[in-house]
Amino acid sequence: MVFQSFKVDKFVIGKGSIFPIFHSMFTKENQKKLNRTPIRPLLIDSIYVNNSGGLVLLKYLVEKALAIKSGVFFLFDERCAEVFKHIPESQKLVLKPSLTERKKFYKSRGNDFSGIFCFGNIPPPIRLGVRVFTYLHNPLLLSTPEGYPLSQKISKFLKTSYIRFCLKNTDGIFIQTDFMADMLRSNWNYPDSKIFHFPFFDASRFEPLNTIEKQQNEYLFINDGNPHKNHINLLKAWLIVNKTKPDWRLHLTVTERNPEVLNQIEIYKNLGANIINHGFVNPVDVYSQCQYLVYPSLTESFGLGLIEGTVAGLQVISSDLPYAHSVVYPSAVFNPWKPEEMASVILKNRIENHDFIRTRLKTKDLIDEMFAMWNPDK
């Protein structure tokens, strides 16, 4: 008998052989099994993240997750549901910012995922059989600045106690700065082996502003009016500045969520301070106007404004505190508790001075490296 032959998967098989049929059946059967066992997605839990710099980072995180990971599922806070309405319903769940609702979710669906990333500071309420990491980006949970309101101190204490109770449910903590890592080790005695440094940010939209000529007498502090942002001392300092340089103007972005600070702004304007408050604003608009970024905060989770402003070409004059030194090399620093010193530093530091130091970025975006922590070979 003469056999004719043909190629199947790089092997020469005689016509009439049962191997091609068996091979075909094997492939189809495996495909059916694969179809019955879909790849479990990575869960990104962003409950409690709904505004400010946290929301800016979350938008970038979602964008990169969809581009990098083959499967991802999002847990969103209902307060920012509208922001992520473009995400398919099959890839998200929107919940109230409730400990009870979150615990119900993890009990019913916690084992549906290949890994879990808690972006809102709080680990899962239960231990799960997959790799879990928690992003801790609120320094107020680790240390409270002087003069913080008592009611907020109590709230932070209760939240911190709950987070520390849940630390057993996470395999490690991701942080943005060395400053946060130091506080984790010293204040919580958290093991260094479980602390991972993964700052991430997208400042690409501010890069074109770097070459735009800024207005020399325009200064900016882009932040809302939370107590640790230290607006009151900045207002006191700016009144002193304007006694010498009345044409130097301070731009603020305090919204209606902080009526007490808004009231103080009006008081200082009436006293002669040259201030304009934009409220909520597109940061591109104000970064393109101002030559200097003044940053008097008493603490920061990351200092996203410092990064954006530096990338946009502004010169940073900031508090002489670890959070600022963790992300940029500022042009000048001051004691944020002393308005007189703040004013003196601002008055002395101008680009036209021969000894002026230009601000440089110190940190970098490590979001790709962060996502690699959930790779199977890790």
Q: What CA–CA distance (Å, rounded) separates 69 from 200?
A: 16
- From 256, 111, 121, select the one nearest 184 (Cα to Cα): 121
Q: What is the pLDDT of residue 28?
A: 45
If phi > 0 it is left, if psi is from -120 to 50 it is alpha, else beta; for residue 182 that is alpha
Torsion sign over Cα 187, 188, 193, 195? negative
Buried b (16+ CB within 10 A) or exposed e, 273-306: bbbebeeeeebeebbbbbbbbbbbbbbbbbbbbb
pLDDT of residue 301: 81
Mean pLDDT by 10 residues, the chain (378 residues): 35 36 38 50 94 89 88 95 94 94 95 94 95 91 77 87 95 93 93 95 92 94 90 97 97 94 97 96 93 94 92 96 94 97 95 87 93 70
* Structural domains present in the chain: 42-200 (3.40.50.2000), 204-361 (3.40.50.2000)
Q: Angle between the 231-244 and 339-348 helix axes, to the nearest 10 degrees?
A: 50
pLDDT at 38: 58
User: What's this model's pTM, rounded to 2 decimal places?
Assistant: 0.80
Query: In which order are the strands placed within the sheet that holds 249-252?
Result: 275-277, 249-252, 215-221, 290-295, 315-319, 332-334
Q: What is the pLDDT of residue 32?
A: 42
Q: What is the pLDDT of residue 307?
A: 95
- The rounded distance, in Å, linking the Cα atoms of 151 and 31 is 59
By three-state DSSP, how is residue 303 classified?
A: coil
pLDDT of residue 226: 86
Residues in a beta bridge with 135: 174
pLDDT value at residue 156: 86
d(CA 142, CA 133): 18
